[in-house]
Structure 1
Amino acid sequence: MSKPLVIAVDGPSGTGKSSVSKAVARALSVSFLDTGAMYRALAWSCLNDGIDPSDTARVAEHCRTLDLAMGTDPRSPTVSVSGRRIDREIRSEEVTAVVSAVATNLDVRADMLRRQRELIAEGVALKGGTVAEGRDITTVVAPDAPVRILMTASEEARMARRSKQLKVAVEQTRSQIIDRDRADSTVSQFTTAADGVVTVDTSHLNFEQSVQAVLRVVKEAVGDDINLPAEAR
């Protein structure tokens, strides 16, 4: 890769953006940043320290002093708070139930924006590029990224995927997907592609097809500045 590469991926829950973005980062040998995990880490830390996630002032202050470390190796990304690995803990139902409360806190978002941009820059410096995925990466965090993608899928496909992931009935996933997207959309835009953002609809694509679709978008955007796996050329 001859030039620094930032690939910004937005999208609602259940589109496959996290797993696909991680696979794309592995294929390109660049860093990977799951920005949603950063908000989950803060939510976990609030619960762990007895802070009400709806107390916006306390949560914002807690965020400013949060000792958060993100491991950006796409082969084994990690999340740590104060030196403690919490990769599994941040995926718990308790954290999922409150993460939108901290993610819609505007002071928290401002602090996370600074951290996210620093992590993206670190990935570029270390690996020549970063795949960053989340809610408003294409429009706020990395609006000047050379590759910006909105990953979408039908509501039915999204709920079916999340249901399979969590091993629960489809109807049980509705609140986790629809309600959370509704809450998060009050502070970020991730359902409609902004100008210059390419939409990749994964409704009828399997995992490998989704990865290849994203890699083709990258190829079209940066051309000969990147070496793609043979199957994506």
Structure 2
Amino acid sequence: MLNDNLLLKSILDKFNLSTQLQITCVNKDKKLKVQSSSTSYNLLKEEIDLALSSSKKLQNYIDTKMIEFVSLEENKEVGIIYINLNNEINDYFILGPFSTTNNLEIISYPYRPKYCITYIADLLLIIIKDSKSFNCKITEKFFSLNIKKTIEYIHKNYDEQLTIDSISKMLNIHKCYFCNSFKKETGMTFTNFLCKFRVEKSKELLLNPSLSILDIAISVGFNNQSYYTMMFKKLTNLTPLEYRKSLI
């Protein structure tokens, strides 16, 4: 279920990485669930309460593309969207704080014009749906302890050099037994699973046009750009550059 806080936090961190904008998830009872990882712009509980109590349009609204803007104080705003996605997410997402005034002398948080926030809100939906698509096969299956540990380790250390030998040594099991068990339980070889996960992670970084394809390849654990491009093309039928252009 997407409402699992670990998965929600992963989604919010992806969003924050892509937009450099703080995001907070609050349930329908207006209780804080998750915030994106440490940032200078964390909302205080009082600000969250103020934002939600000031919201008028979203109380019973189902359209996930609608966003409402709420002023917390002069030059300090948040955007609120309510998402109800196949009964798996039924929460408020608060984007910000941000300023719609581009004056660095009077603000200490990101400048984002309102028209920009509406597009950024759509990005959140893309990240949620991509995360759901990739994680559903993993979260709905039962795995043995060794395979579960391996998947969790990949999630946390995908950007490092991971090999069958290193994982087998970590688990203290024979590598042939590990390979057979991993393929049997996940339906993929360890190498294919790792590459697929790295490619999915790289999609988040491709949203940032300032990052080169080489930088992205290295950031997610590929040793060189050529191999990264080949695997990306194999899994998506697009090169990383073509995928980036498709997002524009």
Q: Same fold (TM over 0.5)?
A: no
Shorter-chain TM-score category?
A: 0.3 to 0.5
How does the TM-score come out when normalised to structure 2? 0.31
Which has the higher relative contact order, 1 or 2, with Cα contacts under 8 A spaced 6 or more apart?
Answer: 1
Q: Mark the structure with the bigger radius of gyration.
A: 2
